[in-house]
Each structure stands twice: as structure tokens, then as C-alpha cells.
Amino acid sequence: MTAATRPPFVRLLAFARPLRAELLVAAAAGAGATAAGIALLGVSGYLIARAAEHPSVTALTIAVVAVRALGVSRGVLRYVERLTSHDAAFRVLGDLRVGLYRRLARIAPHGLRGFRSGDLLARLVSDVDDIQDVIVRGVLPVAAAALCGGVTVTACAFLLTPAAALLGAGLLVAGAVVPWTLGRLARASARRATAARGDLAARMVDVFSGARELIAHGAEDRALAELARADAEVVRAERRNARAAAIGAGLAVGVAGLTVWGVLVLGVSAVSDGTLGRVPLAALTLTALAAFETVSPLPAAAVRLAETTSSARRLTAVLDAPDPVHTPATPPPLPETPIHVRVRDLWVRYGPQEPWAVQGLDLDLSPGRRVALVGPSGAGKSTVAAVLLRFLDPARGTVTINGRDMTAFAPDDVRRVIGGMPQNPYVFDSTIQENLRLARPGASDEALRSAARRARLLDWIEALPQGWNTPVGTHGAALSGGERRRLALARALLADPPVMVLDEPTAHLDPGARAALTADLLDATRGRTTLLITHDLTGLDEVDEIIVLDHGRPVQRGSHQDLAHRPGPYARLTAWATA
Ligand SMILES: Nc1ncnc2c1ncn2[C@@H]1O[C@H](COP(=O)(O)OP(=O)(O)OP(=O)(O)O)[C@@H](O)[C@H]1O
């Protein structure tokens, strides 16, 4: 069985492997506490029944000491079990979250197309939390119940074999048959409950992120009604599970009651036959009663574990999401600067059935060269950036770095030499300084100031009352569109990759701000290998080559001087832009 075909539970429990010792201690302590509880009731039964016969106090000494010792050890062992099992479970959750996050970071952004962001959040938070129950409510109590149940039945067999057999059967029904049946029955509603939780989280994130648009279009009532519907689905599914758990708990109590009655009846008849004393009868009956405490949580746990199974499946779906790019097992080190990127006959699409987004592009980013990629919306410009940043692999053609195929290098390494500014740069809800330092955490204050100066932000930052420590708000809400873009540009300049890819740096700005930012970034990228993706055709006389893309095809290329006066796509784009 390969790793991917193992049941989701088993695969996730692999995260618990490093904590084996701690889990063994928890299991032993849990079984000890349960055994102490059963023995406490059994010995108490013996003590009370024996005391009723008025023996000398010395005859009861051992039982009295045993009751005290069992009472104290039960508490201490339970404490040790709770402490170690929860500690281990939380550490497993931590490792699991880190593992999932690493996977997401590796496949983002194009590998995440099948997931909604809120649903991913639910997977990372509540589905991971559910896994805690596998350990705390699943593995450990089942191990304790199996061990203590077996020992108790064996001990009872020394007193009265038929009663022990009945107890064993009762424990098996309450602790295995009932939970197993309930677990199976709850599987479908558990799947619905976890899916409904993911759906609710996805809608919630959508409503929060799009609150402004919803209010502007008066669509908030509809969105809230949708949320209420999704919430009702979660409640319905969870109510179904709670009902199943309650029925299970009731059944277990019923089986326990019947079994203890049966043990009592068998015991009384054995006392009448003279094969069992009265004092052992009390110990036997109370031991049987206590034995059911070990299995009583199992039916509810089985329902919970059914939910956990579907959470585990949703988590392994993230772990198994295919890599959008080829990652070599032993990537070679990156070549030394200067870096020369060459694209030959590049064909790209987002899936085998999807149309070509880029068709037959050649591109030469030799050191210090600046190339502009222009074209109408949907022409494939950002797709070229995604390939250069190793977020997507070419379907055909090659991209080489200093003569070596780019797919031979690790994606993270490639992004160290080819970087820049994405089309929709994300601004974190933090300060200006922290947003900038993201690009180079160890950067000196002078490097920060220099990047901000080149992005024409320095004077503005220094004039702010809180300066570099000014909070930028969620998604940079406290900044203007231009300031946000300049902050992203400063971040790109601070990262200082040998090859800079700037995707629509002037998008969404008014013409004045666009012209100013274009002039500044052309200034800042002078002498630096740059691919400038833009709708904005001002200032392109400064770049070495312009490539016009249309429906993924390079339809024209040359310098601004070549293209501007020649009838064709570039002249048409320029005419539209100035119309
Ligand atoms: N993640 C994606 N999944 C599937 N198709 C995509 C994806 N991203 C882009 N496309 C498709 O690929 C084609 C090229 O898109 P791309 O974003 O590269 O164009 P663009 O020239 O950058 O457009 P714009 O100027 O509007 O940003 C489009 O047809 C688009 O619908």
C-alpha cells in the first residue's frame, strides 16, 4: 500500500509518530486510571460487604488501604493521562498545521484552484482540531477500554465464570457493536457536517471580503440569507450527529444495566448454590458496574470519529493536491549572476482541456535588458509572469536560466533570482516597515530608505505622524491605490532580484498617477533586467523591446520607435490609449 492509498486516518497518525513515547505514557496512565476506578468500586463493594459481617478492624486494613491508594492513584493517573495526551495531541496538531501550510505554500497559487479560501481556512482550523479527537477520544480510550475490559473479565472469571462471560459479552456489545454500528450510520451525516462547515466558512470569508461591494449593490440581505442557509445546514448535520451520539449513549447505558442485572441474578443464584460467597457477590456486581464506565464514552466517540474521518479525508486532499510545477528531487544550485533568461517557443495552458493561454512566445531577458509585454486583457501576459516565477510549467517550449532548463531548478530558488511585483500585490495588515521588510527581513534601515526613495515613497513615509510604523490596515485599506502599488514596488526593489518581473504596476491608478509611477519605475529599473507587463503604453520608448500579445500569440515585436509608426496592433493599442 503506498502512502497515498492508506486510509486518511492512518496517514495523519504518521504525524504522531515522533510523539510515540509520550502517547505510550498517556495510554498507560489512562489504562491505569481506568483500572484503578474499576478496582476501587470492586474493593469498595468488598469492604462494605465484609464490614457488614463485623470482622475485626485488622481484617479490613488491607482493603481500607487499597481503597485509599486506588482513590489517590486514580486521580493522579488521570491527571498524567490528560496532561500527556493533550500535550501530545496539541503538538501533533501543530505539526499537522505546519505540514499543511508547507504544502499550501508549495502549490500556491495555481495548485489551489480547486479550493475556496474559506473552505481551506476551515480545513486548517476546525478539521485539524478534529484530529485531536482521534487521539484523545479515539485511540487512547479504546486502548484503555480493551485492556481494562479484558483484565476485568479475567478477574471476574476467578469469582464466577458465567457472570464473567456475560460481562464480557455486555462490554463487547456496548463497547464495540454499538459504537461500530453508530459510526457507520453517522458516516454520511458526518461527511455532510464537515462539508457544510467548510461551505459556511467559505461563504463567510466571501461576505467579509466583499462587504463593500455587497453593500454598494444592496445585496447584503441576499448574502446574509445565503449565510443563514449554510449555517442551518451545519446545525442540521450536527444535530443529526448529536442525536446519533445520544442514542448510542442511551443504548450503552441500557446494555450496561441489563448486563449488571444479569451478573447480579447469576451471582445471587451462585450464592444460593453455595458456589459464591456474599462478599465476593458485592465485589463482582460493583466491578461489573464499574467496568461499563470504560466503554460508556465509546459510542459518542465513534460518532465523533466518523466526523473526524471526513475531516481527515479533507486534510489528505490538501496534502495530495497535485504539484502545479515539476519539483526536482535534487535541484542543482542556481547559476551565479549575471542571470540570462531565455524563453523559446513557449506554450502554456491551465489544464489539459483548457485553451492555450500563451502560444509560441520567444523572449530574451539578457542581463540589463528591459522588455515590455503589452496586449489586451486576457492576452496571456500574467501567464508568462507565472511561468517565469515557476508557478506554472510550460506545456511546450523551454525557459532557460543561463542555458539550463528552468524546470531543473527548485521553484523557490528560481524565485530568488526572478522576482518582482505581482498583478495584485498583497499588503499585510501591519506597518509600512513590516510590509517592506517582508522582502528582506534583515535589511538595514538605509536599504529600506533607499528602496522607498526609488519608489518615491520616502518623503511621504517620513511626513506621516507615525512614519515607518504607520499601520496600513486590512488589505492596505489605509493607503491609496497609488501608495499601495508604490509600497509593493519598494518591496520588489528591496528584494532586488537579478531579474525583475513587474505585472501591471500601474493598474487601477488615474492617468496622472500612472504616468508618474511609470516614469519612476522606469527610472528605478534602468540597467536592471526587467519584464514590464503593462496596459499602460506611456514611457515605453525607454525599454529595449516591446512584445504585443494577443490571444496568447506574440503578434508584434520591436522597439517603440519601430512599432509606433507602423500600422498594426501596437499602433492600434496606442491609439486606443490616447483616444
Ligand atoms: N488560474 C487560471 N485558470 C484558468 N485559466 C486562467 C487562469 N488565469 C488566467 N487564465 C486564462 O488564461 C488566459 C490569459 O490570462 P492572463 O491573466 O495571462 O491574461 P492577461 O493578459 O494578464 O490579462 P489582464 O491584462 O487582464 O491581466 C485568459 O484566457 C484567462 O482566462
Q: What is the pLDDT of residue 157?
A: 93
Rounded alpha-carbon distances, angstroms, from residue 33 to 28, 77, 168, 175, 460: 9, 5, 20, 18, 66
Q: Count other Cβ atoms within 10 Å, centred on residue 173.
A: 19
Residue 79's identity, in one-letter code, is Y
Q: Whose CA is nearest to atom 31 of ligand 1?
A: 378
Q: What is the pLDDT of residue 570?
A: 80
Nearest ligand 1 atom, CA 383: 18
Q: Whose CA is nearest to atom 3 of ligand 1?
A: 350
pTM of the predicted model, to two decimals? Answer: 0.71
Nearest ligand 1 atom, CA 110: 1
Instruction: Measure 556 CA to ligand 1 centroid, in angstroms.
Output: 20
Q: What is the pLDDT of residue 76?
A: 96
Give the dihedral sign, CA 191/197/202/206.
positive
Q: What is the pLDDT of residue 325?
A: 82
395 backbone dihedrals φ, ψ, rounded to 5°:
-85, -35
> Of 275, 257, 126, nearest to 202 (Cα)?
126
pLDDT in tens, 158-179: 999 999 999 999 999 999 999 9
Instruction: Measure 29 CA to ligand 1 centroid, in angstroms.
Output: 58
Task: Starting at the earlier edge strand, list the strands of the sheet with 529-534.
Answer: 418-421, 499-503, 529-534, 370-374, 545-550, 553-558
Nearest ligand 1 atom, CA 379: 21
The answer to whether 136 and 89 have CB atoms below 8 angstroms apart is yes
Instruction: Measure 106 CA to ligand 1 centroid, in angstroms.
Output: 21
Output the ligand 1 site: residues, CB below 6 A: 110, 113, 350, 354, 357, 375, 377-383, 423
Write the CATH number of the domain with boundaries 92-319: 1.20.1560.10
319 backbone dihedrals φ, ψ, rounded to 5°:
-65, -30
456: pLDDT strictly greater than 70? yes
Instruction: Measure 358 CA to ligand 1 centroid, in angstroms.
Output: 9
Q: Whose CA is nearest to atom 16 of ligand 1?
A: 380
Instruction: Measure 443 CA to ligand 1 centroid, in angstroms.
Output: 34
Q: Whose CA is nearest to atom 12 of ligand 1?
A: 357
Instruction: Measure 354 CA to ligand 1 centroid, in angstroms.
Output: 11
Mutate-to-test residue for ligand 1 from 383, 424, 503, 553, highest number of ligand atoms within 8 A of CB: 383
The answer to whether 189 and 240 have CB atoms below 8 angstroms apart is yes
The answer to whether 416 and 487 have CB atoms below 8 angstroms apart is no
Average confidence (pLDDT) over 204-227:
85
Q: What is the pLDDT of residue 360?
A: 92
DSSP string, 405-461: EGGGS-HHHHHHHEEEE-SS----SSBHHHHHHTT-TT--HHHHHHHHHHTT-HHHH
Instruction: Measure 351 CA to ligand 1 centroid, in angstroms.
Output: 12
Instruction: Measure 539 CA to ligand 1 centroid, in angstroms.
Output: 25
Q: Most distant CA pair in the chain: distance in Å?
A: 119
Q: How confident is the model at residue 5 (pLDDT cuts 50, 70, 90)?
A: low
Q: What is the pLDDT of residue 211?
A: 83
Q: 260 or 117, which is more confident?
A: 260
Listed in sequence order, the residues at least 6 apart from 469 whose beta carbon sits closer than 8 Å to its beta carbon are: 431, 432, 433
Q: What is the pLDDT of residue 519?
A: 81
Average confidence (pLDDT) over 468-482:
83
C-alpha 364/C-alpha 388 separation (Å) is 12
194: pLDDT strictly greater than 60? yes
Domains of the chain, by residue range, sit at 92-319, 341-578
Average confidence (pLDDT) over 181-197:
83
C-alpha 571/C-alpha 576 separation (Å) is 9
77: pLDDT strictly greater than 80? yes
Instruction: Measure 535 CA to ligand 1 centroid, in angstroms.
Output: 14
Q: Are strands 396-401 and 404-405 parallel, antiparallel or unpaired?
A: antiparallel
CATH 3.40.50.300 assigned to domain 341-578? The reply is yes
503: pLDDT strictly greater than 70? yes
Mutate-to-test residue for ligand 1 from 113, 350, 356, 501, highest number of ligand atoms within 8 A of CB: 350
Output 155-162 pairs: Cβ under 8 A, ≥24 positions apart: 155/42, 155/287, 156/284, 156/287, 156/288, 159/276, 159/280, 159/283, 159/284, 160/266, 160/267, 160/270, 160/275, 160/276, 160/280, 160/284, 162/266
Between CA 150 and CA 260, with CA 300 as vertex, the angle to 5 degrees is 45
